[in-house]
Structure 1
Amino acid sequence: MVALKRRAVITAIGAGLVGAAALAVRPRDKGAPHAEYFARASQALRAAGIATPTMVIDKDRLLANARQVMQNVNGRLPLRLVAKSLPCLPLLDLLMQTMQTRRLMVFNLPYLQQLAAQRSDVDLLLGKPLPVAAAAEFYRSFQGGQFQPGQQLQWLVDSPQRLAQYRDLARAQQLDMRVSLEIDVGLHRGGVDSAQMLQEMLAILKAEPRLHWSGMMGYDAHVPKLPLASLREKALADAKSIYQEYAGLAKQALQPAGTGGALVLNAGGSPTYRMHDGSGAANEIALGSALVKPSDFDTEALQDLAPAAFIATPVLKAERRFQMPRGVEALSDAARAWDVNQERVYFVYGGNWMADPVSPAGLAPSGLYGNSSNQQALLGSGAQQLQMDDYIFFRPRQSESVLQQFGDIALMESGRIIERWPAMPAMP
């Protein structure tokens, strides 16, 4: 009898320990109402009568980011703004004025056509090689005006084959074309990857008077993504060494014959712009996304910048207990019993964006219920205190393509919506 009692006590203690352990790992309530910043943003949206999913850009944060970038660069290298990451003409205008640059990087034919037609004083560098048919279409549709393609436009070429195609276009249409060479500095996404390939392209350039070598572009986005500091340091050193070698070979072959203008040796990007200080071959840096700082750019190098772009969308249905569809309600019963953060469900206007909810705190999509582009379900504890027609804010993971999904961008300044800016069409 004593042994049985002892066994019962031990069993009870064991069960208690298991229960305590379960309670220790059980999710805690992550919910809270809007913080002051988003409470003010909600008031601004309501005052502006905005009732659909909307991209909001905080002008104060945007300009603070621009000034911080300029302070970091400190005049050591010129800046080129990446149009695909900031796809809105008034946005580009404001940043070009603030950051004292007319240099833009463009990645597709429609943007190239629009910028050449509507911003005739900009200097344009292609950020990826386009099919020669796209280049031909640009010249066919170009209506003239103050923009001078022969002086203000640099096509990007990545191989001897593509360069030969551009040469044939220049000959056939009697065009003077500036071309920049894409070089592989370690990303391995294409471009010149050997001295032999470079020499083939230099020979084509040297033999064709209508093609004018304007510079190089070496994109080094792989560097900060490597897992170890030692790997990152070596990758950056290798990238700069490759750039130095290729630029030296090209200058030796072509510069004595004249380049038709100052060379543009472009490098960097939002994640890596601070790695370039003018001591290497690169003589300009490009960036764009860092200025609005979507969540994919939460890196150590960009920690001095603040998120400046958010998706705001109204709550359509609130204060509902989370329930799975009929037949599988037991799944939601179990989820609610285990996790207080799955107690309530909120259905929002739209959803399934490349973005994550940031305010109010403690909201998350349901892995059980699934995603919807029509009425996204978000789960929370109820501590968010959301009601119908309140706003939920999402933070985009990237700016390119996401900024263009909501029509006009709402510009917020000092807690007020002061303007609506048309976004450029979504284009790859």
Structure 2
Amino acid sequence: MADFKKQLASIDRRLLIGGGAALGLTAGFFGLRPSNNGAEATPYFNAMTGALKREKLERPTLVIDRAALDRNIDLLKADLSPGMGYRIVAKSLPALGLVKRIMERAGTDKLMVFHQPFLNYVAANVPGANVLLGKPMPVAAAARFYDHAAPGSFDPARQVEWLIDTPQRLAQYADLAKALGVAMRVNIEIDVGLHRGGVRDKATLKTMLEAIDAAPGLSFSGFMGYDPHLASVPGLLGWQESAIENSKAVYRGFVETARAHYGEAWNRDALTLNTAGSPTYRFHTESKIANEVAVGSALVKPTDFDIPTLEGHEPAAFISTPVLKTAERTEIPGLEFLYGLTSAWDRNSAKTAFIYGGKWLAKPVAPQGLQLNSLFGRSTNQEMLNHSDHISLKPGDHVTFRPTQSEFVFLQFGDIAVYDPAEERIVESWPVFQQGA
């Protein structure tokens, strides 16, 4: 009898231990399970959606919050010291109305253009612009610009600076200027640490300056040193600070070489000494070396620019699109039996909405907690989005995304809808640049 009691006690202990382990595993399972992130859209996004619906914009639409844009422009200008110029990066803001609003509010006529058809368009529609090419263009593209230049007050000899990165490309442009009988201003791309091309040593620079001086149609107009990599250098042990100083020292060295080359003819105020980009413009608020910064994306702040160096800038660009279909379950073709398991594990995958369009470089933000389904796959036609039961979506509702970047995404939706949050209405429509002439 005593042995039997001992056996019962042993069984009880094993059951207790086993039960505790099972409870621990269950608790661990639910502890690791994704939290329910669903929440209805905020009043801000509901008001934006309402404005689009009143305009019958029941299609994927790129929206600019004009008030947020203006605040970003004002912040940029406040960051820059007197004497530091600002050049608008048009590839990141590819709409004429958008560019003109920034030009007016920021008080600048300087643009950076990266595409030959855009250059022709700007020349025809913004005759007062001062344009720096943002990348070295094939010489045939430069020739096409002149072939298609519309008559008007825009003077390429004064208002365009062609970016040149190598002695070989410089020779091609010298031949083009001679063949066309035109004057071309040459801005030299320098490598200040990005290592994506550009002049890397003073000997090459001297050779190029001599070649510019010898070519009747060419003139030296300055330098462009792009440095977005600096924002990604870790601050640990002073690495970022050191990288910034090294980059500025390289730029300063090229400037000093050019100054020595031209001697008494050197006129810094007549040159374009361009640097920075959206992630790094705050490293160059004073004009001790460069005399202008190039900034584009910071003014609309896609998600790729949610970075510490752009603190204070706010999102101003969104994509809004209608919901076409909804389902109370998320069913994957051929794997319907998994619904119970997947929804138990991730409550954010319980329900489904199919939207108008999709597969953009963008992330859903409203309602909160929408997510893509990797098993179902992506679609440019009717993208599947999943969500929890904390969200109620029905056909005709809209969902809102933030683009991850602007330069390509902005060109996918036709005219941009300009939203005024104070009036809660669409107040303008800005056509985007055309990719081809």
TM-score, length of structure 2 as denominator length = 0.95
AA at the equivalent of 1:139: Y
Question: Which residue of the partner structure matches residue 242 of structure 2?
Answer: 234
1:25: how far off? 1.4
Q: SS of the counterpart of 1:347?
A: strand
Deviation track 1:181-239 (CA, whole Å, cap 9, x = no partner) reads 00000000000011121122112112223210000000001000123342211111111
CA distance in 2, matches of 1:243, 1:12: 69
* CA distance 1:74–1:199, shift in 2 (3 Å): closer
Structure 1: any 5+ residue segments left out of the alignment? none
Q: After the TM superposition, which of the residue ranges 133-142 and 183-192 deviates more from structure 2?
A: 133-142
Q: Structure 2 vs 1, CA of residues 139 and 331 (structure 1 numbering), >3 Å: closer, same or farther?
A: same
1:419 aligned to 2:421? no
Q: Is the 8 A contact 1:53 1:350 kept in 2?
A: yes
Write the distance in 1 (CA, Å) between the matches of 2:287 and 2:48.
43
* Closer/same/farther in 2, CA of residues 389 and 373 from structure 1, 3 Å limit: same
1:248 maps to 256
Q: Which of 247, 254, 262 is residue 270 of structure 2 equivalent to?
A: 262
* Partners of 2:185 and 2:107 in 1: CA distance: 24
Q: State whether residues 302 and 404 of structure 2, in contact with CA within 8 Å, keep that contact through their aligned partners in structure 1.
A: yes
Which SS does the other structure have where 1:156 is aligned?
A: strand
* Equivalent position SS for 2:247: helix
What corresponds to 1:183 in structure 2?
190
After superposition, the C-alpha distances for 1:132-181 in whole angstroms (9 at most, x for unaligned) are: 11111111222332111111110000000000111111122222110000
The residue aligned with 1:282 is 290
Deviates more, 1:26-35 or 1:253-262: 253-262
The alignment status of 1:59 with 2:66, answered yes or no, reads: yes
User: Does residue 16 of structure 2 align to residue 9 of structure 1?
Assistant: yes
Q: Please name the residue that 1:218 is paired with.
A: 225
1:194 aligns with 2:201: yes
CA contact (8 A) 1:322 1:345 kept: yes
- Residue correspondence of structure 1 range 2-401 to structure 2 within 5 A: 2-229=9-236, 230-254=238-262, 256-257=264-265, 262-325=270-333, 327-401=334-408
- Amino acid in structure 2 at the alignment position of 1:147: F
What secondary structure, in the 3-state scheme, does the structure 1 residue paired with 2:278 have? coil
| Distance across 2 between alignment mates of 1:279 and 1:405 | 37
CA positional deviation for 1:261: 7.8
The answer to whether the 8 A contact 1:364-1:378 is kept is yes
CA distances 1:260-279 after superposition (whole Å, capped 9, x unpaired): 98001000111111110225
2:270 counterpart SS class: coil
TM-superposition CA deviations, 1:309-364 (whole Å, max 9, x none): 00000000124310011x22123332112111110011000000000000000101
Q: Distance in 1 between matches of 2:335 and 2:39?
A: 29
On the 8 A contact 1:214/1:261 being kept in 2, the answer is: no
Q: Judging changes above 3 Å, is the alpha-carbon distance between structure 1 residues 296 and 313 closer, same or farther for their aligned structure 2 residues? A: same
Note if contact 2:118-2:435 (Cα within 8 Å) is conserved in structure 1: no
1:426 shift after superposition: 4.0
Cα distance in 2, alignment partners of residues 255 and 50 from structure 1: 60
Amino acid at match of 2:90: A
1:375 & 1:83 partners in 2: Cα distance?
31
- Identity among equivalent positions (%) equals 44
The 3-state SS of whatever aligns with 1:33 is: coil
**Amino acid paired to 1:417:** I
Describe the SS at the equivalent of 1:331: helix
Aligned residues between the structures = 426
8 Å Cα contact 1:323-1:333 kept in structure 2: no
Contact 1:214 1:259 in 2 (8 A): no
Provide the TM-score with structure 1 as the length reference. 0.97
Which whole-Å CA distance do the structure 1 matches of 2:225 and 2:268 have between them? 21
Task: Give secondary structure in 2 for the equivalent of 1:321.
Answer: coil
Match for 2:429: what amino acid?
A: R
CA distance change for structure 1 residues 107 and 255 in 2, over 3 Å: closer, same or farther?
Answer: farther
Return the letter of the residue paired with 1:6.
R
Counterpart secondary structure, 1:418: strand
Whole-Å Cα distance in 1 between the matches of residues 36 and 354 of structure 2? 20
What residue identity is the alignment partner of 1:209?
A: P
Q: Is the 8 A contact 1:315 1:390 kept in 2?
A: yes
| Cα distance in 2 for residues equivalent to 1:45 and 1:384 | 21
Q: Is the 8 A contact 2:221 2:271 kept in 1?
A: yes
Q: Deviations over 1:381-426 (max 9, x none)?
A: 0312111110000000001010110011100012111121111124
Q: Give the partner amino acid of 1:331.
A: L
Check the 8 A contact 1:403/1:423 in 2, yes or no. yes
Q: For 1:350 and 1:371, how far apart are their aligned partners in 2?
A: 10
> What is the distance in 2 between the residues matched to 1:332 and 1:178?
64
Change (3 A) 1:262 1:76: closer
Whether the 8 Å CA contact 2:83–2:287 is kept in 1: the answer is: no
In structure 2, stretches of 5+ residues that fail to align are: 1-6
Deviates more, 1:296-305 or 1:176-185: 296-305
Q: Distance in 1 between matches of 2:337 and 2:329?
A: 13
Amino acid in structure 2 at the alignment position of 1:308: A
Larger-gyration structure (1/2)? 2
Which shifted more, 102-111 or 381-390?
Answer: 381-390
